[in-house]
Structure 1
Amino acid sequence: MDRITLRLPSDLTRRFDAAAAAQGGRSRLLRRLMETAAQASLPASAEPPSAPLTGKLTLRLSDADLSLLEAEATAVGLSRTQWSVALIRRRLHDRPQFRRPEALALIEVRRELRRIGVNVNQIARALNTAVMDGVVLDLEVAQLGVFQAEIAAWVEALGEAFEGNLAYWVPAS
């Protein structure tokens, strides 16, 4: 987004602010006036510009609120903007919001679960196709039990990660 800066006499600024107060503020009135001027100068066949696909949100916070925001964002390793975006996305999409290291860890968990699943499938296929004596079969069944426990531990850890993340973004009562 472009920015235009200009210097005005104090009296003109005060009068403009008074007029703009009833129309949504200085920025809104300036944009509307500029849009009207730009539309008036377009040829009749020109199409108006399309709306942007992304937007910018500007927040004005008190010094105390800004300090709290900074502290909260720093505590979880995010910038103020990243923390604010995560909070908004959590509310809008009702999904966990992870920092990059957390997301990479979850990718690793997924990779491990996939590896374990491949091993379990190989063992199950071997059990279905091979004729084994009692000792070998017992070893294979025991290995399946180990994989089952490992999968259960990873799934539980994933659930705790998601629950912890979701709980973080819920306002404290």
Structure 2
Amino acid sequence: MAFFGVRLSDDLAVRFDAFASSRGGRSKLLRQMIETVLRSGGGAPPAAEAELRARGRSEKVTIRLRDEDLTALDAACRQAGLRRTEWVVGLVRRRLLGRPQLSRAEAQALLEIRRDLRRIGVNLNQAVHALHSRGGEGAASAKELMAFRQEVRAQLEGVRAALEGDLSYWSGEDR
């Protein structure tokens, strides 16, 4: 059976208790009030419920594990630098959604890489613009740009490999 808790000011609680005392007490009166509201169509419309879920409302799921499973889970959590809930949610989301589940540190590192790559892209565009404005002169500059391009590709390959490693971890492929 679900439990609803609510905080009230002391004055409001005293007034409600006085009102509820002749009607079977707090719990009985609250149940009756909730039933009355829901019977009269006061429930949340389905669209509002969907919106709540879309905004991140979550439900609690409880699992029971044997001691050896819990020990293995704790070891995996320590290795990944995640709390139990984060690790289990990552596993479930990876399985259900098929996309990487990054720790905070990994997500932050990827954001920094993205920022760096954007800066590199801006610099590269400026260098290409300067090269074109000179009429294509400067073979050394063209070679430098090609080397720079290769370096960016190598860094992008590193990001791709990191994401694939994350996917294989959550898929259990790294065992």
Question: What TM-score do you get using the length of structure 1 for normalisation?
Answer: 0.69
Aligned residue number for residue 48 of structure 1: 43
Q: Is the 8 A contact 1:98 1:165 kept in 2?
A: yes
Measure how far apart 1:138 and its partner are: 1.6
Of 129, 132, 136, the residue aligned with 2:133 is 129
CA distance in 2, matches of 1:122, 1:70: 50
Aligned ranges 1:1-173 → 2 under 5 Å: 3=3, 41-43=35-37, 44-48=39-43, 53=53, 54-131=58-135, 133=137, 137-172=138-173
- RMSD of Structure 2 on Structure 1 (CA): 2.6
Measure how far apart 1:126 and its partner are: 1.5
Q: Is the 8 A contact 1:120 1:144 kept in 2?
A: yes
Structure 2: gaps (5+ residues): 5-30
Q: How many percent of aligned residue pairs carry the same amino acid?
A: 39
CA distance in 1, matches of 2:35, 2:72: 47
Count of residue pairs the alignment pairs up: 138
Shift in alpha-carbon separation, 1:41–1:100, aligned structure 2, 3 A: closer
Shift in alpha-carbon separation, 1:64–1:38, aligned structure 2, 3 A: farther
Measure how far apart 1:129 and its partner are: 2.1
Q: Is the 8 A contact 1:116 1:147 kept in 2?
A: no
Residue by residue over 1:116-148, the C-alpha shift from the partner in whole angstroms, topping out at 9 and shown as x without a partner, is: 111111111122222365xxx122112202211
More contact order relative to length (CA 8 Å, sep ≥ 6): 2
Amino acid across the alignment from 2:125: N
Q: Secondary structure at the match of 1:95?
A: coil
Residue by residue over 1:8-64, the C-alpha shift from the partner in whole angstroms, topping out at 9 and shown as x without a partner, is: xxxxxxxxxxxxxxxxxxxxxxxxxxxxx6688425425235656321111111222
Shift in alpha-carbon separation, 1:77–1:146, aligned structure 2, 3 A: same
